[in-house]
Structure 1
Amino acid sequence: MSSRFIGVDEKPALPYLIMYGIQHVLAMFAGIVAVPLMVGTALKLPGEQITILVQGSLLTSGIGTLVQSLGIGRLGARLPICMGTAFVFISPFISVGSQLGIQAILGAVIVGGIVEFVFSFFVWRIQKYVPPVVTGTVVVLIGMGLMPLGFTWLAGGESSLFGQPISFAIGGLVLVILILINQFTKGFWPSISVALAI
């Protein structure tokens, strides 16, 4: 495979498409299932309920992706947009769920979804009141809030391998491979570095 860049409107060759697809599925799947796993684990839900949360996340993300990609009436961007779960809600979910239970989380999600849908028609009007410094700060704070959980997962998560050297070795190896690919390769290879490192 050549190292040249692929243009924005260019259709990549089949080998490129296959590798991009594999990486995208890995990245999207991890992001979609991470939130219900984190919330379910923090609330100490039984495995059956966590499984239902994961399945619900995958189902609704798939429906949202189809609506965005194909469009229904005036809904959807009709662009290849993949919808997923948002990490920004993890802390509120855990806070509400620990006090009022999973039912309160689901009710809040329904109400919040309706409010968000209504606001989506006016977001372009209020966007000028939210400068990049605000959105950037929010993203940094979300990332910092998730760091303890990331380190816990790096150490082995809830498994019997927690704190074992093999857990840190696997996570460190993935990180080193990811950095090396991005630093010492060009063109196609850095764009699939996540899939290669995993």
Structure 2
Amino acid sequence: MNVLKQNHPVDEKLPLNQMFLYGLQHVLAMYAGAVAVPLILANALGLEKDQLIYLINADLFTCGLATLIQTLGLWNMGIKLPIIQGVTFAAVTPMILIGKEHGLTGIYGSVMVAGIIVYFVSPYFSRLIRFFPPVVTGSIITIIGVSLLPVAVRWAGGGSPGAKDFGNLHFLGLAFLVLVLVIFFYRYFTGFLSNIAVLLGLAAGTLIAIPFGLVNFSGISNAAWVGITTPFAFGLPVFDLPSILAMTVVMLVVMTETTGDFIAVGEIVDKPIKQDMLTRGLKADGFSTLLGGLLNAFPYSAYAQNVGLVGLTRVRSRYVVAAAGIILVVLGLFPKAAAIVASIPAPVLGGAGIAMFGMVMASGIKTLSKVGFDDNHNLMVVAISIAVGLIPLAVPNIYQQFPSSLQIIFNSGITVGSVTAIVLNGLLNKRA
């Protein structure tokens, strides 16, 4: 008797209109983070405004290509899960230091080589997957969720804690209202409308903010209609060995974080991550980072911001995130379209972000709920790994006396928490 094999929900192809709206929801959720890195880098290096605009366009365009590779697969790359790719914040400080010494071309040279190294190291790094039992993965996913919450809180307060109006009651009130709307849409709408609760909350919040003067549309009129990204627009790459080493260390740290993100998504969509899947996913990271150096962009990795959105919407199709990749490519080619997305106020993003990032944390707790805590040392593994992972979150400058190379590692709570969980589980739960 032949039994037809049903496709996993990850491989489900939805109607085009639904895929577009679900994909747009993912883009709106990650857009602020995607453009933050070029903004920070341009300000630190004193770049001109037209150079900043070019960097943003190149970043969005490459984000889209990287997301398509990760979700759809290309050759031996791509984990084929609903993973959106974005520029990693871990590389910001090294890029600034490299840029001040060797300019943008020095950044791109180190990014390209680091991407190549990640690609070839991936098959060996992926062997670590056997050190990720549920007690470790649950701890890591929880750390990811808690570590993301300050991002949403900063958005809710207005974006920049250093601003005079940060924490303004109007900002906080708007963020709270958006959060309430997202919960309302999620609870009382059904089917497709419930699944786009975040998108509806963002749209409603932006409309409500307009009469209060919290939405700035000036960027739309000032933006160009078309912007084409060409390889080596700022000149041929410069390959400086210390810069390459620094960027490679960053990418090895990022590989650990990315592994945690992959595992988190795998848990949410009910598709456990195997070694071969992890290899393809990390290879896609390496190739996309190489692509970033070629296209005047940055290192790329899985975006944890969108992990919570997958859990919140219950939409597990990788083709939805592929649609987000197409939207990002379009935004990179048409700056006016990108400017429309950029006009969403930070407090609106904050309200939605609290729901999304909280969902990541809840997914970690759900995983831990399946772990046995009797006759083993799992409780200690969870306690110490989460505590260590949250140290840089509780006191951000605690490691400021460390050498800069070590700060890259220790300032990433996700990385240090992940390593702690793996090591403690190996030591405390080692079978005699």
Q: TM-score range by the shorter chain?
A: 0.5 to 0.7
Percent identity reads 29
Task: Identify which of 107, 111, 114 aligns with 2:113.
Answer: 111
- Any stretches of 5+ residues in structure 1 without a counterpart? 1-6
Provide the residue aligned with 1:65 in structure 2.
67
Provide the residue aligned with 1:4 in structure 2.
none
Q: Distance in 1 between matches of 2:33 and 2:125?
A: 25
The question of 1:135 aligning with 2:140 is answered: yes
Report SS of the residue matched to 1:51. helix
Q: Distance in 1 between matches of 2:17 and 2:53?
A: 34
In structure 2, the CA distance between the partners of 1:105 and 1:170, relative to structure 1 (3 Å rule), is farther
Q: Distance in 1 between matches of 2:145 and 2:110?
A: 25
Report SS of the residue matched to 2:77. coil
Deviations for 1:13-34, whole angstroms, at most 9, x for unmatched residues?
4553443243234235444334
The question of 1:85 aligning with 2:89 is answered: no
- Any stretches of 5+ residues in structure 2 without a counterpart? 1-7, 203-432
TM-score of the two chains, using structure 1 as the length reference:
0.67
Report SS of the residue matched to 2:86. coil
In structure 2, the CA distance between the partners of 1:122 and 1:138, relative to structure 1 (3 Å rule), is farther
Q: Report if aligned partners of 1:43, 1:94 keep a CA contact under 8 Å in 2.
A: no
1:97 partner letter: I
Provide the residue aligned with 1:121 in structure 2.
123
Q: Please, what is the CA RMSD of the aligned residues?
A: 3.7
Q: How does 1:151-166 map to 2 (within 5 A)?
A: 151-157=153-159, 162-166=166-170
The question of 1:184 aligning with 2:188 is answered: yes
Deviation (angstroms), 1:57? 1.6
In structure 2, the CA distance between the partners of 1:135 and 1:107, relative to structure 1 (3 Å rule), is farther
Deviations for 1:163-189, whole angstroms, at most 9, x for unmatched residues?
543333332222221122223344333
Deviations for 1:110-156, whole angstroms, at most 9, x for unmatched residues?
33322221222234422112431563365246426xx1x54443333
Q: Distance in 2 between matches of 1:62 and 1:13?
A: 20
Q: Distance in 1 between matches of 2:95 and 2:77?
A: 31
Deviation (angstroms), 1:97? 1.9
Q: Report if aligned partners of 2:35, 2:56 keep a CA contact under 8 Å in 1.
A: yes
Q: Report if aligned partners of 2:41, 2:95 keep a CA contact under 8 Å in 1.
A: no
Deviations for 1:19-74, whole angstroms, at most 9, x for unmatched residues?
3243234235444334434x337737444443233222212222223434554433
Report SS of the residue matched to 2:177. helix
Q: Distance in 2 between matches of 1:116 and 1:95?
A: 17
1:90 partner letter: F
Provide the residue aligned with 1:3 in structure 2.
none
In structure 2, the CA distance between the partners of 1:76 and 1:181, relative to structure 1 (3 Å rule), is same
Q: Report if aligned partners of 1:175, 1:197 keep a CA contact under 8 Å in 2.
A: yes
Provide the residue aligned with 2:172 in structure 1.
168
Report SS of the residue matched to 1:118. helix
- Structure number with larger C-alpha Rg: 2
In structure 2, the CA distance between the partners of 1:119 and 1:15, relative to structure 1 (3 Å rule), is same
Q: Distance in 2 between matches of 1:33 and 1:186?
A: 33
Q: Report if aligned partners of 2:45, 2:99 keep a CA contact under 8 Å in 1.
A: no
Q: Report if aligned partners of 2:182, 2:198 keep a CA contact under 8 Å in 1.
A: yes
